[in-house]
Amino acid sequence: MTKELSYLDAIREALLEEMQRDPKVFVLGEDVGVYGGAFGATQGLYEAFGEMRVVDTPISESAIVGISIGAALRGYRPVAEMQFADFISCGFDQIVNQAATLRYRYGGRASVPIVVRAPSGGNVGGGLYHSQNPEAWFVHRAGLKV
């Protein structure tokens, strides 16, 4: 059966489905818990899964990605949410030099199954700091899927 959803509703539904399906999936990022995310993508997840699986973090994109990498190496499946894609550059080293290369550095014996979700583009009236599209930075990096 087909149903029509907005992108935001589809993201929220996908997170809910995966978290119900796999207890190792968790979400972390700025304001993802009680507040429900900057755009509401995680609304209701905190109430459904609690603070251990919907984790509010400080404003530190590098830490959010670093924690995700460590958790993934221990068998978890983190979804790291950046509040705006513009600030993903603060986590660039963790994504490009750590997450993307770990599988190769360990000869395929380790994997880092993380999702980094980063809303991008305009139409929020955020000006130059909340409307960039930095995905091209990652497209040609072996070990990443964009």
How far is the C-alpha of 115 from the C-alpha of 81, rounded, in Å? 8
How far is the C-alpha of 118 from the C-alpha of 135, rounded, in Å? 9
Catalytic site positions: 130
Neighbours of 81 (CB within 10 A): 27
* Of 131, 60, 62, residue with least CA distance to 92: 62
* Owner of token pair 């990022």: 29
For 94, list phi and psi in degrees, rounded to 5.
-60, -40
How far is the C-alpha of 6 from the C-alpha of 100, rounded, in Å? 30
How far is the C-alpha of 61 from the C-alpha of 56, rounded, in Å? 12
